[in-house]
Structure 1
Amino acid sequence: MKKLDSLRTHLLASVPEIRNSPEKMEIFVDKGDVAVRAGSLSFEYSYTASLWVQDFSASVDKLLVPVLAWIAANQPDLFEKGDRKPFTFQSDLLDAETCDITISINLTELVRVEQQAKGLKVTHLPEPVMLDQFDGVPTGTKLWAGLIEDVAGTIETVTR
């Protein structure tokens, strides 16, 4: 399951609190299944990825916005679902400044399996390109480029 590694890499690059203490983050699969069709070894993973961050002391926005940006790039269909809820989360407040956060994301991965002369070729297929974009955001803008905090304490999205 390649999306778990991708999510981990993205959060390590995007969230300074996780980059500085990677041992405080765990990513795992809560439940999953595999869907197949008769006559083919190709399949689809379908699973709930759980992201657990312990002792998070920054603004929760600094974690949730990069998760949303990762979903926009790696599971964009979650933005098109009727309920407009791409993930769920729980938080345990440890004190006035820290919390433990668990985020659950329902993910899928398509895997093509082809017979080749030397055996089987397994290919993880990319997500389809979604043609609709966010209003006011130019096509190709990488929303996950980073977050900065100004002196007033508000969070601003920086694009590349």
Structure 2
Amino acid sequence: MNKLHALREHLVQAVPELERDPDKLLTFIQDGNVVFARGQHLSHEYRVDAQLVVTDYSGSLDTLMIPLLQWLSHYQPDLVPEEAVRLEAEILSNNSWDLALTVRLTERVVALVDCEAGRIDSEHRMPEYPIEACPATHWRLYVKGPHDDDYQLKQEWGNDGG
């Protein structure tokens, strides 16, 4: 599934701990189905519950969640916000935890049938829904905890638009 690969790549690039050790991010398709119409038309849509497991994570939840929500707003904006992301965590120590995030992803596949040529062209579509009000492509995440006096730079991702 192309969307799951793209989401994984985004998180690895956006989260410094995952960029240093991408093997900490495990991705699974936990449950899913294929939606299609009967007949010669072979276009279909994958609907899956993708599970992202981050092992032995020592960062804050914001440094993972904000890039995830940013990606979802661009590539999966039709999700119901209250149901978009499910979260499970296991505290391993005072400094690390295992996180499991489950996200519903859909991926449309357009399959055009040419009966005369005996050919089927299949194209996976991953339209991006840009947020026009915010054209930035390079991001810095600053986090302020409940006992902090000021915001602290936690991570950067994206490009400078050039």
So what's the TM-score if we normalise by structure 2? 0.80
- Give 3-state SS (helix, strand or coil) of 1:5's partner: helix
Alignment of 1:45-84 (within 5 A): 45-78=46-79, 81=80, 84=82
Partner of 1:97: 95
> Are residues 1:140 and 2:135 paired?
yes
Partner of 2:16: 16
> Are residues 1:29 and 2:29 paired?
yes
Change (3 A) 1:103 1:95: same
CA–CA separation in structure 1 for the residues paired with 2:142 and 2:29: 31
User: 1:14, 1:146 within 8 Å by CA — same for their partners in 2?
Assistant: no
Give the letter aligned to residue 147 of structure 1: L
Deviation for aligned residue 1:87: 0.6
Deviation digits for residues 94-129 of structure 1 (CA, Å, limit 9, x no counterpart): 111110000000111110001243621111123374
Change (3 A) 1:128 1:68: closer
User: 1:14, 1:145 within 8 Å by CA — same for their partners in 2?
Assistant: no
Deviation for aligned residue 1:31: 0.8
Give the letter aligned to residue 84 of structure 1: E
User: 2:110, 2:123 within 8 Å by CA — same for their partners in 1?
Assistant: yes
- Give 3-state SS (helix, strand or coil) of 2:38's partner: coil
Change (3 A) 1:139 1:152: closer
Cα RMSD for the two superposed structures: 2.7
Find the structure with the greater CA-based Rg: 2
Structure 2 gaps, min length 5? none
- Give 3-state SS (helix, strand or coil) of 1:13's partner: helix
CA–CA separation in structure 2 for the residues paired with 1:138 and 1:157: 22
- Give 3-state SS (helix, strand or coil) of 1:35's partner: strand
- Give 3-state SS (helix, strand or coil) of 1:76's partner: coil
Deviation for aligned residue 1:72: 0.6
CA–CA separation in structure 2 for the residues paired with 1:119 and 1:98: 52
Structure 1 gaps, min length 5? none
Deviation digits for residues 127-149 of structure 1 (CA, Å, limit 9, x no counterpart): 3747xx5xxx824344x734245
